[in-house]
Structure 1
């Protein structure tokens, strides 16, 4: 049945609505009249476009409400807290009732009213918070117990009978069952390994701290030391080529090949080899002294 425009009058709609020649799925008779209790019984002209009023979107975001009863203030709202936030004026500042004007009496009444409202409001909010927290705890406990019950319940018979067969190799394996003695042995071994790692980290921290302490003597802490270091670094007039030209790649490769020989290149000792060997021996002696003394030198 084709749809007719809603702006057409009721009589025209009834006259134009003709029963379909095709048989429908329903066995009830089609409605050919509009009863008086129908909202479309009275002809009310309607526009083609909907005139529904849409709600105005709220701009911005609401701030997060402040926590009135934080965990760090367990005394709120106790008697002492209420006494502090709604303190009465000192006796020396209290003006007698007969000396107050009408405005002063009104302000005093308003102050007492605000104090009472604050006390009653805090008490009511605290009572409501305790009630809501108790409901949340009860609901959480109920959900936890229900989940535990559903997880521990037996498999239904229809699920067991209609379950597909799975090879034993593909079924989840049970964890290894250990005796208490074996569990204790594994625990002791892991605890010993953990203690060894913690001790190694502690020794490493101590060594780094001692190294920092020994190297602190050369730290630059004042402007004079910084100026002296800059002058010593950038105001030198010594040429970098005074000690000789740098080695070529061939010489460095040859020196690396002859490193295993004690006599250098073919039994001839060069100045560079002597300096390198001296520096290497000095570094070794410093490591031995640090090992013997137990600290950084």
Structure 2
């Protein structure tokens, strides 16, 4: 069917509209939708500079005051200890002469560069010092200058009774509250110090059982995990020291029965209570 409709069917396809070359772009192009432009051209956008510049290196630090001296310059730009003689028949004569000229240029540039940079630094520091001194002098002059007549004459009048009133509200209990706060702070510091000393003493007492050497570790592993046939494997009356002969973990009911009905359990509880009493009396862990 033809796009240009008529009373009779067309024998071939006919396009009755035209598309400009500018609009022959895909939807992914930013020119797919034509946006009207202003008559006055827009200013070009400032390009975004990516990254950050490194901090300039301090060439003459305070710890190296000898850099601009002739001794330092002569030390960093020494003359060649052995001057190579160029033979006329040498095929590399031009290359050797060019290398010697380049080396001399590098030494000369380093000498002149150090002196010029030091002179530039001295000039910059002197200029900064002058500007800073001028700003400080201007600030002092502005602070010490008398009040202007227009400000003095147009200033609001204040009753003498209001001027004599203190700017801070009276606080008669201030010293008492400060003393109480100081006592509370001192008490907390003493509690922290006592707690720290107690923790250090507990660590010292428990350090006797610490494993600090490889021999102690191997001995402890041998005692806890040995597989030799010892008395611990022959009966279940005692738990022993072997980790494989501990049996099932105790239940809450068995722990309560042991502590209340068994003589060994009651004796253990008494020992723990006695230990706590002794620790409180001596002021340290047992």
**TM-score, normalized by length of structure 2?**
0.51
SS of equivalent to 2:64: coil
**Residue 76 of structure 1: aligned partner:** 67
The answer for unaligned runs of 5 or more in structure 1 is 1-46, 174-189, 191-196, 248-269
Q: In the TM superposition, what is the alpha-carbon distance from 1:216 to its structure 2 partner?
A: 4.1
Q: In the TM superposition, what is the alpha-carbon distance from 1:289 to its structure 2 partner?
A: 4.2
| Alignment deviations for residues 46-74 of structure 1 (CA, whole Å, 9 cap, x no partner) | x9844577376253235223222233433
Q: State how far apart, in whole Å, the 2-side matches of 1:108 and 1:89 are.
A: 10
Classify 1:165/1:127 alpha carbon distance in 2 versus 1 (closer, same or farther; 3 Å). same
**TM-score, normalized by length of structure 1?**
0.49
Classify 1:153/1:282 alpha carbon distance in 2 versus 1 (closer, same or farther; 3 Å). farther
**Residue 250 of structure 2: aligned partner:** 241
Q: State how far apart, in whole Å, the 2-side matches of 1:119 and 1:205 are.
A: 63
SS of equivalent to 2:117: helix
Classify 1:214/1:129 alpha carbon distance in 2 versus 1 (closer, same or farther; 3 Å). farther
The answer for unaligned runs of 5 or more in structure 2 is 1-36, 169-181, 183-187, 226-240, 257-262
Q: In the TM superposition, what is the alpha-carbon distance from 1:128 to its structure 2 partner?
A: 0.8
SS of equivalent to 1:68: coil
Classify 1:142/1:56 alpha carbon distance in 2 versus 1 (closer, same or farther; 3 Å). closer
**Residue 133 of structure 2: aligned partner:** 141
**Residue 54 of structure 1: aligned partner:** 44
Q: State how far apart, in whole Å, the 2-side matches of 1:70 and 1:233 are.
A: 69
**Residue 98 of structure 2: aligned partner:** 106
Q: State how far apart, in whole Å, the 1-side matches of 2:70 and 2:224 are.
A: 68
Q: State how far apart, in whole Å, the 2-side matches of 1:277 and 1:203 are.
A: 27
How many residue pairs match? The answer is 206
Matched, 1:66 2:57: yes
**Residue 108 of structure 2: aligned partner:** 116
Q: In the TM superposition, what is the alpha-carbon distance from 1:138 to its structure 2 partner?
A: 2.7
